[in-house]
Structure 1
Amino acid sequence: MSQSTANHTVIRQAAQWLALWHSGSMTDADMLRLADWRAAKPEHEHAWRQAELLAQKLTHIPPQLGMPVLDRAISRRDFIKPLALLLVTMPTGMLAYRYAPWREWAADYRTATGERRELVLADGSRVMLNTASAINVVFTDQQRELRLLAGEILIQTAPDPHPVHRPFIVQTAEGRLRALGTHFNVRQQDAWTQLAVLEGAVEATPAAAKQHASVITAGRQSSLTEHEVHAATNLDEKRTAWADGILYVDKMRLDEFVAELGRYRPGVLRCEADVAHLEVSGVFQLNDTDRILAALQNTLPVQLHWRTRYWVTVAYRA
């Protein structure tokens, strides 16, 4: 059996176990069998945890997969089909890059939804991981490389202690970012990379157009696709406030605000179309998303509909 086939088999097994778990018909014997299965191999436990996570975050996947799972009473059979399809048969391209489960499960470092984590690398560089982020760290005699698999990171590079200087590289789905003695922020989006440079400079090189590299200097920000580096603009200094657990917004559309807040909150957070245009301004503490949602009701003509603790809709207040 190939490694790919083995991985898919484990993922399908995890989906089936999760379906049984949520079916309400799990027996004591089933619980013991599940415990044995999870303990049998590390990849079983990884698969189980990721299946649980994806079941909570179906707001981020195609509606035709997610809605049948969470929008009605379901049977075990109903649950397995969309979840197994999601876990095993993701399309190619960026969606596969972002959701390929083994990349993130096996990442050197990762954070859960709502978690932030600071790392000190072997060369003394510091990396802060934002919510739901994952990176691999690959240091060789030739270069220092971070591979951003998901989410967002804030990097403060340190002088290389190696006898021969090694460039500091961040690799994303869209290309390569080379630090030029710098402090910078990188966020992986659906089909593009966001770059914000606080100090020094960063050379950005698109994966499919390496001749179009651009240097983004301190106080500037840009975005990167596989084919181009967009023109730099002035840096929004509050862009990296997430590292301190703070979200600053100024006249942000409500639907955009809800999407941003949803990054820090497990489950489904939705905004109805008839209130999407409303604007939000303020300073919000990300460690209490319930409080932020409550504040919306106090400042805007909206109300919250709580289907469950993990399924909230922001709607017009009649």
Structure 2
Amino acid sequence: MSAATPPSPLLSRKVARQAVEWYLLEQSGQATPDDLAASAAWRARDPEHARAWSKVQQVGQTASLLPPDLAVPVLRRPQRRVAVQVLLALMAAPAAWLLVRHEMLADYRSGVGERREVSLPDGGTLVLNTDSAVDVAYGADERLLTLRRGEVLIQTRPDHAGSRPFIVATGHGRIRALGTRFSVRVDDDSSRVTVFEHAVEITPRAPSATVRMLMAGQQNRFDASHAGLPAPALPQADAWARGMLAAQDMRLDAFAFELSRYRPGLLRVEPQVAGLRLTGAFQLDDTDAVLENLARILPVDVLYRTAYWVTLAARKK
């Protein structure tokens, strides 16, 4: 009897998202000949790219699973953002579709590059960062925000209807506000909390996990089983709420990763310049202008293969 074929390794989320971006661009009817050539070149660069492309094509053909309004063309926002999330979920696992449905139906959502401010029922405020989704449920026992995706900045207010605790829930645990201003960000493997005023209490999902207290000026990253020790908050960690991306001695590859959250398409950094460092504050409303500024302050060239594929490369002498 022959041995069973081992399952293929999971695609990285980064490569899967790149495949989805190229797929949506090709299906939109708006791709130029240069776009199509760049897409083909991306697929040829790495066997993993080719595998991701094959997977997204298979998923894309399962049209019956997609809502009609997600059919191509889907380059417009917010439809395109939703289509990306749907395709990524279906590429990962059918069960992930349920998660994306929750995100699509969330009470408040923001698109890529969008910031949105919401007034809460108790007079507090909620600011959604780029590509975020959150549910708000004020009940008899607690005031609950469930962060489905992305990042939020919260300014709490006293509960005039009683003494209901203010809770933010993520897939990794719960954060209880203790009269405070704070932000919460959800990544694939963990959640990050930054406190700007007063304090919060972090409780990971695991019953045996240690509960952590976080004070103003501190941040913490936690997963479902563990919350680390508090660390100093990053300078201007809430700058995004003012439309700024703040960098303090930040590596270029880390900066590019953050900037890519605010623009569609692919933003790559060549290994030769990934370790360059920069400090400054950059306007998020025009990410192309940010890239131009990088070329002025660092020895890099900004190479546009297409509008959706940008590479930061070592400056040619």
SS at match of 2:236: helix
Name the CA shift for 1:287/1:23 in 2 (closer, same or farther; >3 Å).
closer
- State the partner residue of 2:187: 189
Runs of 4+ in 1 over 6 A off after TM superposition: 16-19
In structure 2, distance between residues paired with 1:100 and 1:51: 17
Alignment of 1:235-254 (within 5 A): 235-254=233-252
Change (3 A) 1:150 1:141: same
Return the alpha-carbon distance in structure 1 between the equivalents of residues 29 and 92 of structure 2.
23
> Partner of 1:259: helix, strand, or coil?
helix
In structure 2, what is the Cα distance between the partners aligned to 1:244 and 1:212? Answer: 34
Aligned-partner SS, 2:159: coil
Counterpart for residue 45 of structure 1: 69
Q: How does 1:50-65 map to 2 (within 5 A)?
A: 52-53=80-81
Q: 1:303 to 1:20 in 2, by over 3 A?
A: closer
Amino acid of the structure 1 residue aligned with 2:291: L
Rate the CA distance shift 1:237–1:105 in 2: closer, same or farther, 3 A.
Answer: same
Q: How many residues are treated as equivalent by the alignment? A: 256
**Contact 1:18–1:52 (Cα < 8 Å) also in 2:** no
Q: Secondary structure at the match of 1:166?
A: coil
Determine helix, strand or coil for the equivalent of 1:266.
coil
Provide the rounded CA distance (Å) in 2 between the counterparts of 1:46 and 1:141: 37
Distance 2:261 2:90 in 1: 23
Q: 1:19 to 1:311 in 2, by over 3 A?
A: closer
Aligned AA (1:317):
R
Q: Is the 8 A contact 1:305 1:312 kept in 2?
A: yes
**CA distance in structure 1 between the aligned counterparts of 2:144 and 2:314, rounded to whole angstroms:** 47
Give the counterpart of 1:285 among 274, 279, 283.
Answer: 283
CA-CA distance at 1:211 after TM superposition: 4.6
Aligned to 1:115: 114
Alignment correspondent of 1:31 = none
Tell me the distance in 2 between the aligned counterparts of 1:17 and 1:270: 19
Residue 191 of structure 1, CA deviation: 0.7
Identity level (%): 41
In 2: Cα distance, 1:234 partner to 1:288 partner: 29
Tell me how far apart the structure 2 counterparts of residues 222 and 131 of structure 1 sit (CA, whole Å).
21
Counterpart in 2 of 1:258?
256
Task: Give the Å deviation of 1:91.
Answer: 3.7
Distance 1:273 1:19 in 2: 28
Shift of 1:104: 1.6
State the match for 2:92 in structure 1. Answer: 90
Give the partner amino acid of 1:44. Answer: P
Measured against aligned partners, the alpha-carbon deviations of 1:203-250 in whole angstroms (never above 9, x if no partner) come to: 100011455111111221111111111100222341011111112212
Q: Does 1:106 align with 2:105?
A: yes
The aligned amino acid for 2:68 is H
Alpha-carbon distance in 2 for matches of 1:285, 1:104:
27
- In 1, the alpha carbon distance for the partners of 2:301 and 2:121 equals 49
Q: Which runs of 5+ in 1 are unaligned?
A: 1-15, 25-41, 62-82
Q: Matches of 1:263 and 1:289 in 2, distance apart?
A: 10
Instruction: Indicate how the Cα distance of structure 1 residues 52 and 248 shifts in structure 2: closer, same or farther if over 3 A, else same.
Output: closer
Gaps of 5+ in 2: 1-22, 32-65
Q: How does 1:22-33 map to 2 (within 5 A)?
A: 22=29
Q: Which residue of 2 aligns with 1:146?
A: 145
1:277-301 CA deviation, whole Å, 9 max, x = no partner?
1111112111111111011112222
Contact 2:172/2:190, CA 8 A, preserved across alignment: yes
Name the CA shift for 1:294/1:89 in 2 (closer, same or farther; >3 Å).
closer
Aligned residue number for residue 80 of structure 1:
none
Contact residue 209 and residue 228 of structure 1 kept, 8 A? no
1:212 alignment partner, SS class: coil
CA distance 1:18–1:270, change in 2 (3 Å): closer
User: What TM-score do you get using the length of structure 1 for normalisation?
Assistant: 0.73
Query: TM-score scaled to structure 2, two decimals?
Result: 0.73
- CA distance in 2 between counterparts of 1:284 and 1:44 reads 38
1:157-172 equivalences under 5 Å are 157-162=156-161, 164-172=162-170
Cα distance, 1:23 vs structure 2: 9.2
- State the one-letter code of the partner of 1:241: A
Deviations 1:148-206 (A, max 9, x none): 011110100111121x3211110011100011111111111121111111112111000
Q: 1:20 to 1:309 in 2, by over 3 A?
A: closer
Cα separation, partners in 2 of 1:215 and 1:87, compared to 1, 3 Å: closer
